């Protein structure tokens, strides 16, 4: 009979696998954080360009973008982000059906946001003294819409895979990572909203 202090080969393998999984998860979280930090720099650069050009007399056109649809888009995105956050909590607690329902709400509201973004790209016609502003406006909205589209596709994939039972309390990193990217979309849009529509 073996002493209790000596681990069996299976126990050692299990402990090694758990340690490797913990390291892999830690590296994944660090990777997402570094990716988001580098990603935000492009958004900050676009905002700085907008501000710098904004001081040039006559650069902005007299006709400002309509703010109604961007407000609707912002409300839809904030609600979507809330549902994504709540869905992550639900999957961690192993409430899979509630997770799926809230994730579906988050994805649907994200689609509303994205549809408005594509409409906003062409909401200002180029021409006159504000041509540069219009093109920068389109670049900012389009760049953000592209990122929202890619992460929206990821959200659809998460929902599809969740229907096959892929996500639960023991396996939810993909859900969490996708939600963290969606939070980034929200933060970036709030910054753009302030710069493009309020200042």
Assign residue 194 the CATH number of its domain.
Answer: 1.20.120.80
Q: How many domains does the chain have?
A: 1
**pLDDT surpasses 80 at 192:** yes
Comparing C-alpha atoms, which of 183, 174, 188 is closest to residue 29?
174
Q: Given CA atoms 173, 178, 179, 181 in this order, what sign does their dihedral have?
A: positive
106 located within any domain = yes
Residue 68 lies inside a defined structural domain of this protein = yes
What residues make up the domain containing 106?
9-198
Q: In this predicted structure, what is the pLDDT of residue 104?
A: 96
Q: Does residue 1 sit within a domain?
A: no
In a domain, 4, yes or no: no
d(CA 69, CA 136): 19
**pLDDT per position as a tens digit, 115-166:** 999 999 888 777 655 677 888 888 889 989 999 999 999 999 999 999 988 8
The two three-digit tokens of residue 29, written as one number: 């979280």
pTM of the predicted model as reported, rounded to 2 decimal places: 0.79
Query: Residue 16: inside a domain, yes or no?
Result: yes
* Percent of the chain scoring above 90 in pLDDT: 43
């Amino acid at each position: 009979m073996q002493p209790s202090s000596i681990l069996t080969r299976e126990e050692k393998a299990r402990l090694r696998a758990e340690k490797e999984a913990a390291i892999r998860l830690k590296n994944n979280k660090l990777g997402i954080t570094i990716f988001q930090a580098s990603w935000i720099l492009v958004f900050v650069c676009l905002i700085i360009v907008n501000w710098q050009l904004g001081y040039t007399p006559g650069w902005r056109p007299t006709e400002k973008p309509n703010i109604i649809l961007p407000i609707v888009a912002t409300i839809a995105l904030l609600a979507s982000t809330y549902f994504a956050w709540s869905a992550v909590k639900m999957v961690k607690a192993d409430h899979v059906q509630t997770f799926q329902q809230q994730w579906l709400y988050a994805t649907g509201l994200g689609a509303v946001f994205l549809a408005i973004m594509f409409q906003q790209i062409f909401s200002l016609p180029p021409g006159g003294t504000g041509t540069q502003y219009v093109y920068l406006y389109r670049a900012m909205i389009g760049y953000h819409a592209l990122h929202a589209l890619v992460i929206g596709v990821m959200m659809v994939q998460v929902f599809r895979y969740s229907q096959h039972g892929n996500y639960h309390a023991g396996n939810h990193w993909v859900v969490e990572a996708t939600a963290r990217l969606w939070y980034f979309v929200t933060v970036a849009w709030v910054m753009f909203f302030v710069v493009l529509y309020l200042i």
